[in-house]
């Protein structure tokens, strides 16, 4: 059971559920029926967790050979030989199927469709592209930003500007986050033939410039919730401070292209996301 749980990447699934929950919160436009809303939220989170876990398991099944070539992933259940590929494949298929069914029937078809598109984009477009082009990061950020859309669709029933604002924040946030990881593990990625930007351009110039570019872009994009009346002044100040700090860590890595500086960007990204979500939720515009 421990090996099966490891296949689901629970830490990443937790981040996905957090983004889904935020989308659900902002999609609530009708009068609250406590039991109905909690029931629908539960179906949404369970279905999302299942389809995200299935995607993670199928991704590890697909990349088992590449994982075996990288030090940081060689200990995973498949490359280490602790689990057979066939078991991982059927485990992933089962979870993904249950997740789609839970979302499509227990929530609504739009949420199930978004979950299916997320899985398809991640497994059939992003994952194969990783060994062909560094632009795979852009492609992968699209399914990576889908969770708040799924949460919003679950509670509201359709998508609007608010939903796409949440999508945009998560979409742009991913670039500094994953580019920092790619820089830290560039030797591993090169060994596995995965063409991340730091592998294609080893001097780190393009990587650091893109980190600064996307961290800069995140600041104005993070202010959209204020313009749309989703959050208030406390959020506005907090978003500017958090965005400025995130950008500062990116500028530092541009001048000092080391793993230590890249890890600072990664740490800032991990802190930024739950903080910005928290400010967004707990500072409604009326305050």
Q: pLDDT tens for residues 125-168?
A: 999 999 999 999 999 999 999 999 999 999 999 999 999 999 99
pTM here is: 0.95
- Cβ distance 207 to 179 under 8 Å? yes
Q: pLDDT tens for residues 234-286?
A: 999 999 999 999 999 999 999 999 999 999 999 999 999 999 999 999 998 86
Q: The CATH number of the domain where 123 resides is what?
A: 1.10.357.140
> In this structure, are 144 and 4 located in the same domain?
yes
As for how many domains the chain has, the answer is 2
Q: What is the CA radius of gyration of the chain?
A: 19
Domain boundary among 159, 181, 211: 159
Range of the domain at 258: 160-287
- Cβ distance 176 to 45 under 8 Å? no
The whole-angstrom separation of Cα 204 and Cα 265 is: 14
> In this structure, are 142 and 20 located in the same domain?
yes
> In this structure, are 165 and 122 located in the same domain?
no
DSSP letter assigned to residue 32: P
Kindly give, in sequence order, each residue whose CB lies less than 8 Å from that of residue 20, ignoring residues fewer than 6 positions away.
44, 45, 48, 147, 148, 150, 151, 154
> In this structure, are 114 and 165 located in the same domain?
no
> In this structure, are 165 and 126 located in the same domain?
no
């Amino acid at each position: 059971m421990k090996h099966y749980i490891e296949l689901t990447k629970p830490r990443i699934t937790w981040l996905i559920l957090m983004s889904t929950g935020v989308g659900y919160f902002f999609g609530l436009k009708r009068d609250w029926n406590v039991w109905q809303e909690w029931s629908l939220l539960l179906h949404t989170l369970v279905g999302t967790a299942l389809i995200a876990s299935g995607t993670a398991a199928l991704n590890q099944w697909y990349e088992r050979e590449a994982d075996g070539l990288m030090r940081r992933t060689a200990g995973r259940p498949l490359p280490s030989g602790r689990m057979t590929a066939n078991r991982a494949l059927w485990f992933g298929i089962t979870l993904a199927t249950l997740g789609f069914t839970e979302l499509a029937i227990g929530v609504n078809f739009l949420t199930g469709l978004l979950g299916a598109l997320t899985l398809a984009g991640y497994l059939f477009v992003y994952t194969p592209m990783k060994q062909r082009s560094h632009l795979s990061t852009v492609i992968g950020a699209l399914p990576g930003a889908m969770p708040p859309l799924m949460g919003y669709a679950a509670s509201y029933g359709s998508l609007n500007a608010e939903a796409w604002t949440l999508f945009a924040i998560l979409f742009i946030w991913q670039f500094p986050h994953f580019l920092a990881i790619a820089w830290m593990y560039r030797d591993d990625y090169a060994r596995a033939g995965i063409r991340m930007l730091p592998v294609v351009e080893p001097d780190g110039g393009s990587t650091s410039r893109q980190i600064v570019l996307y961290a800069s872009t995140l600041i104005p994009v993070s202010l959209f919730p204020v313009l749309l009346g989703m959050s208030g002044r406390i959020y506005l100040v907090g978003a500017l401070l958090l965005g400025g700090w995130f950008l500062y860590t990116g500028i530092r890595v541009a001048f000092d292209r080391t793993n230590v500086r890249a890890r600072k960007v990664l740490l800032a990204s991990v802190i930024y996301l739950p903080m910005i979500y928290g400010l967004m939720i707990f500072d409604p515009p009326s305050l």
